[in-house]
Chains A and B, each alone.
Chain A
């Protein structure tokens, strides 16, 4: 959010100061401009959030009267073994959705900083494609890739590793990793595009100075590229960490949380509690915890990436 420049700055007492526009910072009719948007926003965004918080202090099956239970739902979120595993799975998703794509992006940009890239716009368009596809489409495509008769197993048997082939999404050992790697695929292109764009804005004199000081490629990356990309890394992490924790669509459309509970993630648990097992209060508490987790993580990321300057 860029700060709105003050229209009044230096304008006091000047003849051309437009009375209509800056003279009355508040007028009832100004509310008319805001009313349509704010009314919808309040009704379908803010009010539901307040209600969710309210539900989280109740025991409620969605039909009969709700009963006030204080913090009991929250205690259950933080003590039940299943919930902790599920939130643990959410954190594992961060590794696949956020950490891996950022590392891949950085690795690639480290190779790229010394060269001018041909056909950059073509690469950008293609690398960005996973971001614009509907998650359901992505899930359907990857279900085929991971299928027992799909490309991955075909590739394995072609190179003589056929004994490793399996139904990747249906196997207790590989389901969570397989779902996570879909997230890596969705986000790696975004990170590459962000970082390549950022690296091109770094002053080339910094690289020349580093080279004059005798820096090798690695030192050059640590001293020039990495600090220069701080803003982009922060954006990439905020986006991908949020993606990782809101990973409902992919799980619903690939494994439905299974096999067993091995790919159960927080949003799926919330959906189940709210609409299937009808443990509404608990689901509300879990969604408050998830929201706070997202807020805290994104806050920490932006602060960490900014404060070092």
Chain B
């Protein structure tokens, strides 16, 4: 049913699309490997990466990003497993109301809460600390995470909980020994997704940790670093951009099935 011409044309279009998708990232990698003006290196070099690492303070900001992202992922995952369990397995009485409330957060842009968040953190003295970024991002990740876990637990057969309950297991034991282990795969996919969103977040970081280099996340550092074009060579900026992207890109290539299914399923919900 497929003609040879159609097969070739179709794949050429796909290859063209793939090249366009790759081009900006590849070109920035190539630029980062090119010696900066004034450098003595010839051919490919890694010295731009060293320059970015030391001058741009990316050794610190990558660690900061990791601290924020892991904290958000961990707290969100735990809270979502607990909430998902009580909503879908224990059938919390007002679960429809809770789902409706969470629905609001699913579509809310950061712009709608950025001003009060700034006021809150500046009045509590938490502006420019990890907390200022961790707490709001847990809050914005929770709706998706809770729907995710509630859906997953709802798909599991009821007989699991019933059998355990007949054996005398309490509600929490049933979660601890049956649902939580079974939900591990769903939690991992969800964690990839939240890690990605948290790592890449820019606007909240810009507003909530503007003046403290010691806690700034990698995308924010990159933005400030790249803004100083007069003092920084474009090749070093390119190297910094690659450094910021690298952890997520590596995670993506190793866990692509999780990322892909996460992003697509996350979209469906």
* Contact A1 B111, beta carbon cutoff 8 Å: no
Give residues 111-147 of A contacting B (CB, 8 Å). 111-112, 114-118, 123-145, 147
A188 at the interface (CB under 8 A from B): yes
Residue-wise, chain A 286-307 has the 8 Å CB interface mask toward B (1 for contact) of 0110110011001000000000
* Least CB distance, B46 to chain A, in whole angstroms: 19
Q: How far is the CA of A151 from the CA of B174 in the complex (A)?
A: 59
A41/B200 in contact, CB under 8 A? no
Cβ of A192: which chain B residues have Cβ within 8 Å of it? 17
User: Among the listed B20, B203, B248, which residue makes an inter-chain contact with A134, where contact means beta carbons less than 8 Å apart?
Assistant: B248
Provided the pairs A34-B82, A45-B113, A245-B109 are in contact, do residues A111 and B10 lie with their beta carbons within 8 angstroms? yes
Say if the beta carbon of B71 comes within 8 Å of chain A: no
Tell me the chain A residues, 1-54 only, with Cβ under 8 Å from chain B.
1-2, 4-7, 16, 18, 20-22, 25-26, 29-30, 33-34, 36-38, 40-41, 43-49, 51-52
Count of residues in A whose CB is under 8 Å from the partner chain: 99
The answer to whether A55 touches B21 (Cβ under 8 A) is: no
Residues in B neighbouring A298, C-beta threshold 8 A = 107
Known contacts: A33-B82, A129-B21, A242-B109. The answer to whether A135 contacts B263 by CB under 8 A is no
Interface membership of B230, Cβ < 8 A: no
What chain A residues lie within 8 Å of B111 (beta carbons)?
246, 248, 266-267, 270-271, 287, 290-291
* Closest chain B CB from A70 CB (angstroms): 19
**Which of B54-108 touch A at CB < 8 Å?**
75, 78-80, 82-83, 85-95, 98-99, 101-105, 107-108
Minimal beta-carbon separation of B172 from chain A (angstroms):
9
Known A7-B91, A16-B166; judge A137-B244 contact (CB<8 A): yes
Chain A window 230-258, contacts with chain B (Cβ cutoff 8 Å), 1 for yes, 0 for no = 00000100110010011011001100000
B180 at the interface (CB under 8 A from A): no
Neighbouring A residues of B1 by C-beta, 8 Å? 114
A189 at interface, CB cutoff 8 A:
yes
- B contact residues around A118 at 8 Å (CB): 11
| 8 Å CB interface, B152-169 against A | 154-155, 158, 161-162, 165-166
A5 to B231, CA, bound (A): 61
A108 within 8 Å of B (CB atoms): yes
Contacts of A193 in B (CB 8 A): 260, 264
* Interface-facing stretch out of B37-45, B182-190, B249-257: B249-257
Q: A245-B109, A275-B207 are in contact. Are A38 and B98 (CB under 8 A)?
A: yes
Tell me whether A248 and B82 are in contact in the complex, defined as CB-CB below 8 angstroms, given that A1-B99, A18-B161, A291-B112 are known contacts: no
Q: Which residue of A lies closest to B3 (CB)?
A: A114
Q: How far is the CA of A235 from the CA of B120 in the complex (A)?
A: 35
**Residue pair A294, B107 in contact (C-beta under 8 Å):** yes
Question: Which B237-269 residues have C-beta < 8 A from chain A?
Answer: 237-238, 240-241, 244-245, 248-249, 252-253, 256, 259-260, 263-264, 267-269
The smallest C-beta distance from A4 to any residue of chain B, in angstroms, reads 5
Q: A271 to B203, Cβ gap below 8 A?
A: yes
* Prevailing SS type, chain A contact patch: helix
Residue in chain B with minimal CB distance to A111:
B10
Evaluate whether A274 and B17 lie within 8 angstroms (CB atoms) in the complex, with A37-B146, A45-B108, A126-B22 already known: no
Interface size of B as a range: 35 or more
Within 98-138 of B, Cβ neighbours of A (below 8 Å) are at 98-99, 101-105, 107-120, 135-136, 138
Alpha-carbon distance A238/B106, docked complex (angstroms):
12
With the chains together, A267 CA to B83 CA distance in Å? 32
Question: Would you call B228 an interface residue if the criterion is a C-beta within 8 Å of the partner chain's C-beta atoms?
Answer: no
Do A140 and B238 have beta carbons less than 8 Å apart? yes
The residue that B203 contacts in the complex, of A36, A126, A249, A291, with Cβ under 8 A, is: A249
CB of A259 within 8 Å of the partner chain: no
Nearest CB of B to A39, in Å: 9
- Are B219 and A136 interface neighbours, CB within 8 A? yes
Whether A41 and B114, one on each chain, are in contact in the complex, defined by CB atoms closer than 8 angstroms, is no
- Nearest-neighbour CB distance to chain B for A154, whole angstroms, equals 11
Binary CB contact string for chain B from 1 to 42 against chain A (1 if under 8 A, 0 otherwise): 111001101110110011011111101100100000000000
Q: Among the listed A45, A62, A252, which residue makes an inter-chain contact with B105, where contact means beta carbons less than 8 Å apart?
A: A45
Give the CA-CA distance A143 to B28 in the complex, in Å.
Answer: 10
Contact of B25 with A44 in the complex, beta carbons under 8 Å? no
B2 cross-chain contacts in A, Cβ below 8 A: 114-116
- In the assembled complex, the CB of B37 is this many whole angstroms from the nearest CB of chain A, namely 12
Q: Which chain A positions have C-beta within 8 A of B269?
A: 1
Q: Is the C-beta of A194 less than 8 angstroms from some C-beta in chain B?
A: yes
15 new A-B contacts, CB < 8 A, other than A48-B112, A114-B2, A137-B28, are A2-B155, A21-B90, A21-B174, A40-B139, A45-B139, A48-B115, A48-B120, A112-B10, A125-B256, A132-B263, A134-B222, A235-B267, A238-B267, A290-B112, A294-B109
9 cross-chain pairs, A with B, having the tightest CB-CB distances, nearest first:
A48-B113, A37-B79, A44-B139, A33-B86, A51-B116, A48-B116, A26-B93, A141-B24, A134-B200
Q: List 5 A-B contacts (CB under 8 A).
A: A4-B88, A140-B238, A147-B234, A189-B17, A192-B17
